[in-house]
Amino acid sequence: MSRGPLSKVSSLKKLPVAEKLLKKSGSKWAQKPVYTLRETRTPGQHSRQKVELREKETGVKRYSLRERKDHVYQEVSEPEDDDYLYCQECQDFFIDRCAAHGPPTFVKDTAVEKGHANRSALTLPPGLSIRLSGIPEAGLGVWNEASNLPLGLHFGPYEGQVTEDEEAAHSGYSWMITKGRNSYEYVDGKDTSLANWMR
């Protein structure tokens, strides 16, 4: 039988049977009252002692949630495939700037208001022209009229009507953007008044 602390002796009850046994046996404890474990502990004291003993045995330290300081967590998103650009000289992908060649050079479209009937052809940057492609059944293509374009120029972005309508996927002028699992939107360049030359 394990013994608990006898902190509240005045509230404890004597066990007459145990006292009689001790008197008969001539024990030195015969003169002292015996108390039950149930009567000696205060509510919650025994379970707290068990936890403290287990913590000592395992070396585990418990922390009160009230003592914790506030923390702010931020979700870090992984770069998507569309976040990368390609360096023609290094032949490697980068984000924001190439380590060897610095930030990319973007060629801006010629400014034309949306709604103009032939906007797509008019947005073509200087030095380029739209003509029949040399690729069989390819339709129109973009031709370089300038003497030399430096390596690593970036054109775009592709413009058109942004829609979630799946019919846009069949227009022949759509750029599909993945928004999540089985969730897409389309930049449809079919309408020449909303699209740019990249259609």
CA dist 142 and 140 (Å) reads 7
Provide the residue ranges of all domains of the chain, joining segments of one domain with +: 14-61, 78-107, 112-199
Q: Quick check: 197 and 120 in contact, CB under 8 A?
A: yes
112-199: CATH topology is: Beta-clip-like (2.170.270)
What's the one-letter identity of residue 105?
Answer: T
Query: Over its length of 199 residues, how does the chain's per-residue pLDDT go in tens digits?
Result: 555 555 444 444 555 555 555 555 555 554 555 544 454 555 555 667 776 776 666 666 666 666 666 777 777 777 777 788 889 899 999 998 999 999 999 999 999 999 999 999 999 999 899 999 989 988 889 999 877 888 888 899 999 999 999 899 898 899 988 887 888 899 999 999 999 999 9
* Residue whose structure tokens are 């413009």: 159
| Statement: the pTM of the whole predicted model exceeds 0.75 | no
Helix (H, G, I), strand (E, B), or coil: what is residue 109? coil
How many CA atoms lie within 13 Å of 129's alpha carbon, on the beta-carbon side? 6
Q: Quick check: 136 and 74 in contact, CB under 8 A?
A: no
Q: Quick check: 136 and 121 in contact, CB under 8 A?
A: no
